[in-house]
């Protein structure tokens, strides 16, 4: 009886794990798209890029549009 129960539990857990693995990971995909752009250098940008802070470790980069100024000290974009 215990053997049959353990086989049923094992079968259910394997099917649940495979269904979870096949589910789309939307949040992971969006995170990947955010970091796809090129990084800005200090100064005026010529194209859209990501401006990151050299001082704040772990801070998310800011998206700068073409013609904006990237300040890498604080990771800010200004006109």
The predicted model gives 2-14 an average pLDDT of 76
Q: Give residue 50's domain range.
A: 2-78
CB 61 within 8 A of CB 52: yes
Q: How confident is the model at residue 33 (pLDDT cuts 50, 70, 90)?
A: very low
Nearest by Cα to 70 from 46, 40, 30, 48: 40
Instruction: State how many domains the chain has.
Output: 1
Q: How confident is the model at residue 16 (pLDDT cuts 50, 70, 90)?
A: low
Higher pLDDT, 15 or 49: 49
Model pTM score:
0.49
| pLDDT over 90 percentage in the chain | 23
- In 1-79, DSSP assigns E strands to 43-44, 49-51, 62-64, 69-71, 76-78
The predicted model gives 37-63 an average pLDDT of 86
């Amino acid at each position: 009886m215990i053997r049959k129960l353990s086989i049923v539990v094992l079968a259910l857990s394997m099917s649940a794990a495979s269904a979870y693995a096949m589910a789309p990971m939307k949040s992971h995909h969006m995170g990947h798209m955010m970091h796809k752009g090129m990084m800005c250098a200090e100064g005026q940008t010529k194209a859209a890029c990501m401006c990151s802070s050299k001082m704040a470790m772990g801070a998310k980069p800011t998206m700068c549009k073409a013609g904006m100024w990237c300040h890498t000290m604080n990771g800010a974009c200004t006109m």
